[in-house]
Each structure stands twice: as structure tokens, then as C-alpha cells.
Amino acid sequence: MCPWAWGSEPAFRRLRTALAGRVRWRRAYAILFDDEDDPAPDPAAETAYYAGYVERISAHTRAPRAARLSRVAASSWPSSLVAGAAELQGADVAERVLRRLRETVFVLGEPADTLEAAVAATRGVPGVDPGRLRADAASPGVLERVRADRAEARRPVPEVLSVRSGSPHPGTAKETPDGGYRYALPTLLLRGPAGYRAVPGWRPYGTYAAAVDELCPGLLDLSAPLSPAEALERHRSLTGPERGLLAEGAWPPPGAVSLETANGLLWLHPDEASAHPAGR
């Protein structure tokens, strides 16, 4: 549910492609909107402020934003639990479920902040078993996993406590109400035999690639980008910044379905468009 993390998807998708089969990639759900947070005294004013905040961030990232945000998410827990549960059904299912959950906020303006809404957002995702997804999201095992993620996010490495960067979002760790700290979102932590590198905040793809190469030289796959049709087949949903990083060739590919947002188009694979919440 973090707009900076949403804006980082192009770089992360390219990095995952360049490292496919060479690394283990693990997401930690930090819980941006916690159940312990006090409710806003004026929800309409909070929504208007937050919509403006997202608009300012999207001016930097060029990521799509919803034409109208219905509300600020009440909680990150339901979507985080559903995303964690989806990982039990395989990597492809997990990627597509997480993407749908992100799009509820930043494309549709209707954050999936209840279990019902989060499960409904995954309808039509290829390979997903909705009954199992719902059951796993409510299971003690997935709850414990997301609790562990939340706790891990509040034990940041020392390097992110003070960050110097020209990025509009350098990624310095955020102070928490109890006087501790949590990682700014997103933060990528690369680990290898030679140690680790932390890359916090919003960064261009080249910064991530350089950190990988510093830690594990030669690990990145430098193959040519996918064709537009291949990229849409693989990812099923592409923003403007993503197509620029992930595909090379005439755009859009045949059959692509465009979806209007407040600041540009989202392109969907035709099969994705037929099942997407935007079309229901």
C-alpha cells in the first residue's frame, strides 16, 4: 500500500527478471497501516490529504494513480495476509495476487483493506484457489509469518538510520511511536557470501544493479529486453514506466487493453482485462 513501493515496481520487476533462477527473493510485509493506529478524526480530510500525497509522489515515479481515492486504507493486515497466503500457491500466483492488491489502491482507488475485499480482488487470477487462499490467509501460520515480517521491518540495519541521497525519497528509516525505527518502504536488502547491501527508498534500476554487481559480480543477466508481446504475456499488467524498462519494440502489442488512470494508461493482457476488478 506504499506509493513509493508501487512506483518502484518497474525497477524491481526488471531486477527480478535479471536475477531469475540465481537468487532467492523474499518479501517482508512491513504493515504500513497498522491496526494499532488511531482512526482519523476527519476521514474525508485525511483522504484528501493522502490523495494529494500520492499525487506528489507519482509526479516523481510516474506510476499510475487512481482518479479518485475512496478512502485511506484502514489496515494493511488483510492484504498482507492474502499476499502471504498466495505465496503458498506458487511464485506466479503470488506475483499476480500481489499486483492485483496493489492495483486496488493505485488504479481503482478502493484499497483492499478487509479480508473480503482482498480475496475478491484476486478473482480470475490464473491458478489461484480462492477457497484455499481465504483459509490460508486466516490461518495461524500465515498470521505468524506476517507478524514476523512486521517485527523484522522494525529492526533496520544501521546503514539506513542515516541516508544521504539525491532521491526525493532517500529511504532513511522511520521513527515508530515506541521510539524505535522501521525500514522506509521500499527497502531492498541484498545478502550474499560477501555480506549485505541495503538499498533504501526510491532508486533507479541502475542503483540496484550496481549494488548486486558490487556484492556478486557477474550475477545479473544482461540479455536484451523482452518484446512488448512477451512482456505483457509474462506480467499481464504494465504501467508506462514498466513498459519502458521491461520491453523493447513497438507499443502497444496486439490485443493489449488500455485502462485510463489519473495520469496515464495501464495496459492489460486481454485475459487479464476480462477478469480485472476494473471491468466488473
241 in Cβ contact with 6 (< 8 Å) = no
Residue 42 burial (CB count, 10 A): 9
Burial of 116 (0-12, 13-18, 19+ CB in 10 A): exposed
**More confidently predicted of 38 and 115:** 115
106 in Cβ contact with 259 (< 8 Å) = no
The region of weakest confidence among 137-141, 168-172, 275-279 is 275-279
Burial of 167 (0-12, 13-18, 19+ CB in 10 A): middle
CA angle, 136 then 140 then 141, to 5°:
70
pLDDT digits (tens, 9 = 90+) for 110-150: 999 999 999 999 999 999 999 999 999 999 999 999 999 99
| Inter-residue long-range contacts of 251-260, CB under 8 Å, 24+ positions, other chains counted | 252/228, 253/227, 253/228, 253/229, 254/229, 256/228, 256/232, 259/107, 260/67
At 279, is the secondary structure helix, strand, or coil? helix
pLDDT for the residue numbered 35: 84
User: Which of 65, 100, 103 lies closest to 82, judged by CA?
Assistant: 100
- Residue 224: band (very low, low, confident or very high) from pLDDT cuts 50, 70, 90: confident
At 42, is the secondary structure helix, strand, or coil? coil
Distance CA 123, CA 134 (A): 12
Predicted TM-score of the model (pTM): 0.96
Residue with cell 505465496: 87
